[in-house]
C-alpha cells in the first residue's frame, strides 16, 4: 500500500499494524486506518525514532480523528497503534486505548492549531511519552 502524498512512515506503520493485529487497511476511511474482523477500529501512528535535526520523533494526533476514535471506543472498541521506526525498520510498537491518549494530551496542555493545509487542531506527542 502506498498512497500518494503520505509520509513513507505512514505506510510502514500501517502495514506493520495490519500484519501484527490481523487487520484490514481502510484507505477510504477518513478517521481510522484499519479495522478488525469484529469491527474494532484502529488508528495507526508512525514516528521516526530520531529526526534529521537530532530531535526525538513525534506522533501527530488530529483532534477530529481522535474524537471519532474515542466515540467509537465508547460504542464498541477502538485502539491506537503507535509504531517507532528507524530508517524504514520498525523498532517498537504499542497498542493504546483512546482514553489513555486523551489523559496524556490533557496533561501535556491540550490541542494546538496546526500549520498544515489540512487545518484543525493537533497534538504532537513525543515518542518518550509512550515508550
Residues 113, 55: Cα–Cα separation, whole Å: 21
Q: How far apart are CA 11 and CA 123, in angstroms?
A: 21
- Mean pLDDT calculated for residue range 19-37: 96
Domains and CATH numbers, the chain: 8-129 (3.40.1350)
What's this model's pTM, rounded to 2 decimal places? 0.90
Say if residue 49's pLDDT is above 90: yes
Q: Is pLDDT of 106 > 90?
A: yes
Q: What is the reported pLDDT for 5?
A: 56
Per-residue confidence band for 38, with pLDDT thresholds at 50, 70 and 90: very high
Amino acid at each position: 500500500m502506498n498512497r500518494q502524498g503520505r509520509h513513507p512512515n505512514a505506510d510502514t506503520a500501517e502495514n506493520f499494524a495490519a500484519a501484527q493485529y490481523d487487520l484490514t487497511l481502510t484507505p477510504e476511511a477518513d478517521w481510522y486506518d484499519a479495522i478488525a474482523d469484529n469491527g474494532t477500529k484502529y488508528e495507526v501512528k508512525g514516528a521516526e525514532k530520531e529526526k534529521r535535526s537530532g530531535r526525538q520523533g513525534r506522533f501527530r494526533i488530529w483532534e477530529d480523528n481522535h474524537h471519532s476514535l474515542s466515540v467509537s471506543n465508547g460504542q464498541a472498541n477502538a485502539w491506537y497503534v503507535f509504531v517507532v521506526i528507524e530508517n524504514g525498520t520498525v523498532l517498537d510498537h504499542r497498542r493504546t486505548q483512546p482514553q489513555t491518549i486523551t489523559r496524556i494530551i490533557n496533561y501535556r496542555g491540550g490541542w494546538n492549531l496546526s500549520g498544515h493545509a489540512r487545518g484543525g487542531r493537533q497534538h504532537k506527542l513525543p515518542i518518550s511519552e509512550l515508550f
